[in-house]
Amino acid sequence: MQHIGHPIFNDDTYGGDRIVQGTIFTRYRQFIDNCFQIIPRHALHAISLGFVHPVSGEDLLFHAPLPDDFAGVLEKWRTYAAQLK
């Protein structure tokens, strides 16, 4: 995603751990730093993932709910964005 200017949130290998937009606003910087602390890892999640088993040929499908910390940060973003309107 970095190659199109959208690194994965908190991905320190490809630049997702840096604030590149809105850095002149202290409130925004504090908000992002707080989000980095809440999710101290890559913020990448697939709600479902499927593939064909390489030996049995069986179609496998796995589902995983959004982690609580991801959901919390998304709610923080929604609240923050609503305040800007």
> Cα 28 vs. chain centroid, distance in angstroms?
17
pLDDT at residue 57 greater than cutoff 90: yes
Q: Is 83 exposed, middle or buried (0-12, 13-18, 19+ CB in 10 A)?
A: exposed
Q: How many CB atoms lie within 10 A of CB 10?
A: 20
Rounded to an integer, the average pLDDT of 1-13 is: 60
Q: State the SS3 of 18-67.
A: CCCCCCCCHHHHHHHHHHHHHCCCCCCCCCEEEEECCCCCCEEEEECCCC
Report the number of distinct structural domains present in the chain: 1
Reported pTM: 0.61
DSSP bridge partners of 61: 50
pLDDT digits (tens, 9 = 90+) for 30-56: 888 888 888 888 778 889 999 999 999
Domain that holds residue 18: 2-84
| Position with higher pLDDT, 39 vs 26 | 39
Percent of the chain with pLDDT over 70: 71
| Position with higher pLDDT, 2 vs 35 | 35
